[in-house]
Amino acid sequence: MSETPRVLVVTPTYNERDNLPVLVRRVMALGPSYQMLVVDDASPDGTGAVADTLAAEFPGRVHVLHRTGKRGLGRSYVDALSKAVTMDVDAVCQMDADFSHDPAYLPDLVRGLFEGGHDVVIGSRYLHGVSVVNWPLRRLILSTFSNRYVRAITGLPSRDCTSGYRCWRREALARLPLRQFVSDGYAFLVEMLYQAMGAGCRIGEVPIIFVERREGQSKMSRGVILEGVIVPWRLVLRHPGWRGRRA
Ligand SMILES: Nc1nc2c(ncn2[C@@H]2O[C@H](COP(=O)(O)OP(=O)(O)OP(=O)(O)O)[C@@H](O)[C@H]2O)c(=O)[nH]1
Ligand SMILES: [Mg+2]
């Protein structure tokens, strides 16, 4: 690895036209070792075209993947991360476009990875109590409950198994069989960690303060929640030997 780790930040977008330009500039300002890969699901609000303009503004540093067909966070990540592992970088981060994940934490995640000796580091909302800003009580209860549920079933060690803010060593990410994953929606994030645990990855966490989105709409739906209930069981039934495995 080079002295300064080269970091690729993968950001899925669906109707994030207003957030994306601000976000990309914040990541670019972290320095030349940072690149971005935006994966857009043919957003009706034209986020894809905004992403193309940003790619032209930061040639070689901002990349765009335009998806067509059935949309989904999990599907987008499969396509984007499969491309990410072939790129010439040391670390691959996953980060939302709505500023719930402050890009200022990216260097902490990267340090946790290489200085902390981990294969994946999670930006965690639940490391020291609860660090979530502007969530209604029912959202907080849903998230707290789903984390306890996931941990109890899968034996995952992390306090925050459903956080979408993460950083991976590229080689560790390349070991996950992304194309064989069963989940389409947010449960994809849990599946990634279960697969990482099965692959013997060292899983770390650093604290973040999560702030509810200011612009745009939430994509949380009943189908997504139902998938979140079923997927942990599917994972454990499929690979019972991985349950609670420690690196
Ligand atoms: N490519 C793609 N991106 C998506 C899709 N659904 C959500 N996203 C993006 O994934 C990230 C997380 O989605 P959010 O809607 O913020 O989900 P959330 O954080 O659970 O919910 P809120 O913040 O309350 O809206 C954001 O950057 C979204 O734009 C999708 O189907 N395809
Ligand atoms: Mg969000």
CA 98, CA 125: separation in Å to the nearest integer?
A: 16
Global pTM value: 0.95
Instruction: Name the closest ligand to CA 74.
Output: 1
Check pocket membership of 96 for ligand 1, CB cut-off 6 A: yes
Q: Taking Cα atoms as reference points, which of 203, 205, 112, 119 lies closest to residue 154?
A: 203
Per-chain residues with Cβ under 5 A from ion ligand 2: 96, 98, 100, 213
DSSP 176: S
At 13 the three-state DSSP class reads strand
Angle at 55 between CA 51 and CA 58, to 5 degrees: 135
Q: How would you write the pLDDT of the chain (247 residues) with one tens digit per residue?
A: 558 999 999 999 999 999 999 999 999 999 999 999 999 999 999 999 999 999 999 999 999 999 998 888 899 999 999 999 999 999 999 999 999 999 999 999 999 999 999 999 999 999 988 999 999 998 999 999 999 999 999 999 999 999 999 999 999 999 999 999 998 877 999 999 999 999 999 999 999 999 998 777 677 788 888 999 999 999 999 999 999 999 8
